[in-house]
Structure 1
């Protein structure tokens, strides 16, 4: 399979109406060192009869200009503050980038994981290497596939928005393109208010010291970092339907020490199962400390809660931790329980402790040794993004890497009656471990 995508047009799109000219501060959470990259989405749409490609591209481009009016910071440019304490956005209506392209791919080629991690790279042709060097914080590429289907690649500067915020923007943008709403008709208007995720004055709150294991270093006993840097990574994807997830929940509960009144969520059992399978496939030393990091939305976990429409980074990392030996031998109930307890630790004081840790001179960053990061895209609403071409039949990343992504699945053909419960898990693992990982992740009782 080739990787060709030919660019027909690449233009800068500015807001369709005048927007404020100003400099906006990003929060301490937005400014974290590990968020200075681009979130890259790939949405694939099936062939629709009588599609006028030229008209569709024009509607998408015009809708982008309209969406940039309320979301005008996405037409700005991110830079460090002069004192280096955090980041800010210079808003001068500089614009986002829109690209139209054509490709020799077909929609059916996206049903499975790519054969290598960068195979779909050209579906977002503008790759931003440094988000602080004046690059546009938003890039949109509409690529027409050979069978009349379409792929939409979107890149967001992660410093400006998190997954929830970017998905809200995409649904606004898509509804404008499809003619479903006008600019003044949306239920939640975008809210900036980034000061809400900054450290608070000590007179307001003084968090008690809490352990934040995501920031703590652990010994690398097995050349973990070198292995992931030097060995070729192979993308994998496995679909878990409703029946399989229910089976995992029952298995985890039967093996756990939780009381009978406690239950596991789908996220907890899937995370625990994938983490165990990944760790066992890597054949790590029994005393190697491993961590599972995952984002926890804190919009309703801080006081006061963040306002509807807040699209900045409003998450902290939950951290489950175990030795490789315990993770392998103690079973799914143990792993799911670690995830559950890591989620439960995230309250008001925990969040404020993280904000303090990543602020100012300390600028704490997560340790990478022994780490698997899970990101739950399946609940963002990306599967509802309809530009007038129907809902996407595939949602995923542009490039598959070490992050483990939980992706939504088109359940029309699901054997459980299309209840929208299926989850696709995509992660890239070292080539030498692929076969064992896929065997383990498909065998919950092993």
Structure 2
């Protein structure tokens, strides 16, 4: 298996035209402590034979420079606000982003299954920015040519500046430009047009929430629960094993039937996300063999662009999500069947309305509230972001996933299977075999 990656060139790419200078404030949601990390995407391509790597790299760099004109804050630098608050801001002086071109002895077939170890693909994005507040560029792009003539695109984008939807819109505009002919390049129109407007998700425009909804009891995602089993120590001390499993339309329908058969009839109108996330959560909990009274949470992001009033404008690329939280004990999660777990997920989604979002904005704006880690499985739905459409002129990616597999579960798109989802998560090695067995067996 390949592991050699050599960076041939590392260069700073700046916007191709003059851009505004100044300081932009990030929103209360952008500034949350738990978002101060880099989203790292890996997209793998099988370009047509005869593609010129040199010309392709030049096109990609030129497209990146042009995309940074309307997305100029991504070429800035993030810092803490000097007023001592917990807020963040972006200093925009066209400082630029890092672009790397590399070669590797990885081959395209490696990406059809889970990596053998968590960091196997780490060097496909050679610069990992652990803390963007220390002056690193918030955007890093690496184009790597694989030994079989195929290509991988690694992208690191700081979560403070974009959520999944925003980063995918950026990547699709960037890719569309990279595949645009030279004659139409200068006339390119960005759709949707990027919108900053971070003030729309600050506490100031909102009146205090009714019913005092901003108390902690309304937001279990921020509550702390007792660690009855050394949960955090297990995940930090034990080696994690990456897993991935594809759920096609047939298996998703089987899960829906199973969930409906163990639910109250009025609650059984479940989506694929509802049943799949509940099934993964139950399989994970059962495989870890946790104490029956340990409280567990499933946290997942909910897009609020159309849930707030007024709705956010098209092209808003900041963090416009809150965390849905399904919570129960190990005993109830594992013994009550798939229908019960699915109902918890569905209800967590349904309670997120404009008032709920306002109360989250108030909480994170007034305090440094952050989600708990004890008993938590975080699940993120990358399968609906549009990453599978990011075409740099080499066709659609045959693999979309993270640079490194993690203890967070990602739902990923599957190449040429629009109704299928790949679930990728790393679990403690002692639980990996049992987890894989449980996630493959659709039984209560």
Give TM-score scaled by structure 1 length: 0.96
Q: Which residue of structure 2 lines up, in the alignment, with residue 118 of structure 1?
A: 119
The yes-or-no answer on 1:367 pairing with 2:397 is no
Distance (Å, rounded) in 2 between the aligned partners of 1:109 and 1:378: 20
1:184 Cα deviation after fit: 4.5
* Contact kept? 1:47, 1:147, Cα under 8 Å: no
The yes-or-no answer on 1:349 pairing with 2:355 is yes
The yes-or-no answer on 1:250 pairing with 2:251 is no
Distance (Å, rounded) in 2 between the aligned partners of 1:368 and 1:209: 26
Distance (Å, rounded) in 2 between the aligned partners of 1:47 and 1:17: 30
Give TM-score scaled by structure 2 length: 0.96
Q: Which residue of structure 2 lines up, in the alignment, with residue 404 of structure 1?
A: 409
List per-residue Cα deviations over 1:393-428 (Å, max 9, x = no partner): 0000000011100000013xxxxxx5x100000000
The yes-or-no answer on 1:424 pairing with 2:429 is no
Q: Secondary structure at the match of 1:292?
A: strand
Q: Which residue of structure 1 lines up, in the alignment, with residue 246 of structure 2?
A: 239
Q: Which residue of structure 2 lines up, in the alignment, with residue 24 of structure 1?
A: 24
The yes-or-no answer on 1:268 pairing with 2:274 is yes
* Contact kept? 1:377, 1:408, Cα under 8 Å: yes
The within-5 A match list for 1:164-243 is: 164-179=165-180, 182=185, 184-201=188-205, 204-210=207-213, 211-243=218-250
* Contact kept? 2:297, 2:328, Cα under 8 Å: yes
Distance (Å, rounded) in 2 between the aligned partners of 1:440 and 1:97: 42
Distance (Å, rounded) in 1 between the aligned partners of 2:374 and 2:55: 49
Distance (Å, rounded) in 1 between the aligned partners of 2:84 and 2:70: 28
Q: Secondary structure at the match of 1:188?
A: coil
Q: Secondary structure at the match of 1:389?
A: coil
The within-5 A match list for 1:39-118 is: 39-85=39-85, 86-118=87-119
List per-residue Cα deviations over 1:146-203 (Å, max 9, x = no partner): 000000000001000000000000000000000066464233210000001110356x
**Larger CA deviation: 209-218 vs 68-77:** 209-218
List per-residue Cα deviations over 1:274-331 (Å, max 9, x = no partner): 0000000000000000000000000000000000000000000000001000000001
List per-residue Cα deviations over 1:190-227 (Å, max 9, x = no partner): 0000001110356x343433310000000000000000
Q: Secondary structure at the match of 1:259?
A: helix
List per-residue Cα deviations over 1:71-125 (Å, max 9, x = no partner): 0000000000001320000000000010000000110010001011011000000
Distance (Å, rounded) in 1 between the aligned partners of 2:394 and 2:147: 16
The yes-or-no answer on 1:438 pairing with 2:436 is yes
* Contact kept? 1:208, 1:349, Cα under 8 Å: no
RMSD: 1.2
Distance (Å, rounded) in 1 between the aligned partners of 2:276 and 2:255: 8
List per-residue Cα deviations over 1:362-402 (Å, max 9, x = no partner): 11000000000000000000000000000000000000011
Structure 1: which 5+ runs fail to align? 412-417
* Contact kept? 1:293, 1:320, Cα under 8 Å: yes
Q: Which residue of structure 1 lines up, in the alignment, with residue 322 of structure 2?
A: 316
Distance (Å, rounded) in 1 between the aligned partners of 2:305 and 2:205: 20
1:4 Cα deviation after fit: 1.3
